[in-house]
Amino acid sequence: MTTRDRYMLELEGMLSVIPEVQRKEWLYDYYIHFQQAVENGQSEEDAALELGDPKLIANEILLSYRVGQAEKTGSFGKLSKAVFATVSLGLFNVIFILGPYLALAAVILALWASAAAVALSGVAVIIESVWNDTFSLAQAFTVCLITSAIALLLFIGLKSLTTSFYKLTLKYLKFSTRIVKGNNK
């Protein structure tokens, strides 16, 4: 098996999660690189060294793919996969991408849980008032109405905050991708 074949087989194997049509299109450039190197009198080994580590190339391609998927779908699952793809590029990314992402995602999740608790507290006041006569029914409904209004405002604000967090994370991942690609070329 030639150096080119081993290199491309390794690269293609690491990119197996990408749909075949897109994967073949992206890998075509690497095949062309080997072909042009041989036409210019360069060995396949030198061409492979010039390209660099196929694992690093695969990680960069996967990062671009994951960021594109997250951008298209708006899914937090896809965004998380993009963040973890970024982490595979080095320790710097573990510290400056994964840590803040997990911390901020946890805060946002806790805020959503708090908003849900506020929404449910009004219902709890009504139930408590019916069982134990803590408040009159009119007072309990008033408290429920107030907590429902507060919860609604919280949900609206959290939706905006969550959307902003998603968009800023995507922008940061794209920025990080450009830096990584710029440093490796």
Render pLDDT for 32-86 as a digit per residue (tens, 0 to 9).
Answer: 989 999 899 999 899 899 988 998 888 888 888 888 889 898 888 888 888 888 7
Tens digits of residue pLDDT in 7-29 = 999 999 999 999 999 999 989 98
The verdict on residue 114 lying in a domain is yes
Query: Token digits for 94?
Result: 């573990």
Query: Token digits for 80?
Result: 């998380």
The verdict on residue 45 lying in a domain is no
The verdict on residue 12 lying in a domain is no
Query: Token digits for 115?
Result: 């908003």
Distance CA(103)–CA(111), nearest Å, equals 12
Range of the domain at 169: 53-183
The verdict on residue 43 lying in a domain is no
CB contact at 8 A, 30 and 12: no
The verdict on residue 14 lying in a domain is no
**What is the torsion angle, in degrees rounded to the nearest 10, for the CA atoms of residue 137, residue 140, residue 141 and residue 147?**
180
The verdict on residue 175 lying in a domain is yes
Residue type, 106: A
Selection from 166, 185, 164 nearest residue 82 by Cα: 166
Distance CA(1)–CA(3), nearest Å, equals 7
The verdict on residue 1 lying in a domain is no
Please count the structural domains in the chain.
Answer: 1
Distance CA(90)–CA(157), nearest Å, equals 35
pTM higher than the cut 0.85: no
